[in-house]
Structure 1
Amino acid sequence: MVTLQLRQLTVPPGHRIILHNIAWQEFEEILTELGEHRASKLAYSQGNLEIRMPLPKHEVAKVIIGDLVKIILEELEIDCESFGSTTFKREDMDSGIEPDDSFYIQNHARMIGKEKIDLTIDPPPDLVIEIDVTSKTQLNAYLALAVPEIWRYANDKLQINIFENGKYIESEISPNFPKLPIKEIIPQFVEQSRTIGRSPTLRKFRQWLKKYDH
């Protein structure tokens, strides 16, 4: 049997590799070897490990959508704790995943000051964001962790998935922001940012939000 070191593998931007029959301890060792300061994203479920290397297009969309969410939270005076691309994992569920962005909203008070997350004790994030450019989001890992709400952005459209009765169903509204037309407005301002740039887009979004009757 041939054994390869992770440093021998190169994943070009926009590509992914999938490793099979990876034990939990091996997954933990891979996380340690790769470290926290890296560009690659990992998703682990039932022995299968996917390593993705995002494209610049992915990163730009991730940042702008995360910024839009933060503006909503600020303008509506909703408290939150943001955990970005933290690795959320549970050995007992044999699953782990790193979202593009994550927010504790309903459970924000429980997460203040947390430096490490233990999902056998702590709740999963209330909202995660995934940009499906390189590959589609692995919902199996999210199912195992019971994340309540996932935004999946792909092909200039936003899909909202909510966890209900042990599975994800598509929703027209965001349970975290039920009075806002999230599915329509987020892609609209992401598209606008490609034309006028990030900062002017965020200013226009803040202005729109202040005028919107919510």
Structure 2
Amino acid sequence: MTALFPILKPISQLRLSPGSVVTIPNVSWQEFESILQEMGEGRSARVTYSQNTLEIMVPLPEHEKPKDLISDIVKTLLKMSNRRYEPFGSTTFKRENTAGVEPDACFYIQNYQRMINRRRLQPDDPPPDLAIETDVTSKTTLDAYEAIGVPELWIYNSGKFTIYLFQNGKYINANTSPLFPGIPLTQLIPATVERAWQVGTVQALVEFEEAIS
């Protein structure tokens, strides 16, 4: 009788094509931490961890334009309302033994002063006030954000823009953003992203500013 032994290879040896999503169940927190360390920081793949499930996603090239554009829209809105902020990009946010997530972009607004000098997150640091995800439909992602408690989450997926607000430990859909009240973002952001494909990002941003002025 031939004995069968599992072949174990480092996660970093996975060769994933753009647009790929790999889901790995039954991953302990210690294994998640080890995988993060093994994969390093200078990688294209992004990871999400919740309820012992690890997801690894490699974005498509067309993922970058909406991500950057929506980030620029946030900066534009904050500048126009004379508010300061600290952007934290795709920083890995973790709740120990529970969840980990890497946004496409995120911003500290209410707590920006506290985060100005942060080169690395501290265990008692608050979550960002706003996180942005593009091309994400996974429940694992929403579960991870709920565990970490990000107050406001924006998801842009296949032309649809959704605002999620964290209330009583769960996310609810909202039509408007408390951070930017009175601005119809659910209509303007998809239109601006589509416009960017037609006329370029700079012109699309100019038109966005004109629309809200």
TM-score by length of 2: 0.92
C-alpha displacement of 1:99: 0.6
Could you tell which deviates more after superposition, 178-187 or 46-55?
Answer: 178-187
Please tell me the residue identity of whatever aligns with 1:19. Answer: I
Partner of 2:152: 149
The 2-side partners of 1:19 and 1:2 are apart by 15
Please tell me the residue identity of whatever aligns with 1:11. Answer: L
Partner of 2:25: 20
The 2-side partners of 1:111 and 1:174 are apart by 22
The one of 75, 80, 103 equivalent to 2:107 is 103
C-alpha displacement of 1:139: 0.7
C-alpha displacement of 1:180: 1.4
Quick check: which has more Rg, 1 or 2?
2
Secondary structure of residue in 2 paired with 1:123: coil
Does 1:46 pair with 2:51? yes
Report Cα offsets for 1:37-71 as digits up to 9, x if no partner: 11111001121110000001211110111111111
The 2-side partners of 1:96 and 1:126 are apart by 16
Question: Could you tell me whether the CA contact under 8 Å between 2:12 and 2:38 is conserved in 1?
Answer: no
Please tell me the residue identity of whatever aligns with 1:25. Answer: Q
The one of 81, 87, 93 equivalent to 2:86 is 81
Report Cα offsets for 1:175-200 as digits up to 9, x if no partner: 11112111111111111101000111
Aligned length: 207
Please tell me the residue identity of whatever aligns with 1:4. Answer: K
Secondary structure of residue in 1 paired with 2:21: strand
Alignment map for 1:1-214 (pairs within 5 Å): 1-92=6-97, 94-118=98-122, 120-132=123-135, 135-136=137-138, 138-209=141-212, 211=213
Alignment RMSD: 1.4
The 1-side partners of 2:160 and 2:27 are apart by 33
The 2-side partners of 1:42 and 1:5 are apart by 15
The 2-side partners of 1:33 and 1:91 are apart by 18
Runs of 4+ in 1 over 6 A off after TM superposition: none
Please tell me the residue identity of whatever aligns with 1:29. Answer: S
C-alpha displacement of 1:155: 2.2
Secondary structure of residue in 2 paired with 1:207: helix
Runs of 5+ consecutive residues of structure 2 not aligned to the other structure: 1-5
Secondary structure of residue in 2 paired with 1:58: helix
Secondary structure of residue in 2 paired with 1:103: strand
The 1-side partners of 2:100 and 2:58 are apart by 17
Question: Could you tell me whether the CA contact under 8 Å between 2:163 and 2:174 is conserved in 1?
Answer: yes
Question: Could you tell me whether the CA contact under 8 Å between 2:188 and 2:208 is conserved in 1?
Answer: no
Secondary structure of residue in 1 paired with 2:132: strand
Report Cα offsets for 1:111-162 as digits up to 9, x if no partner: 11111113x41110000011125x4361110111011010111121210000
- Percent identity (aligned): 45
Please tell me the residue identity of whatever aligns with 1:105. Answer: I
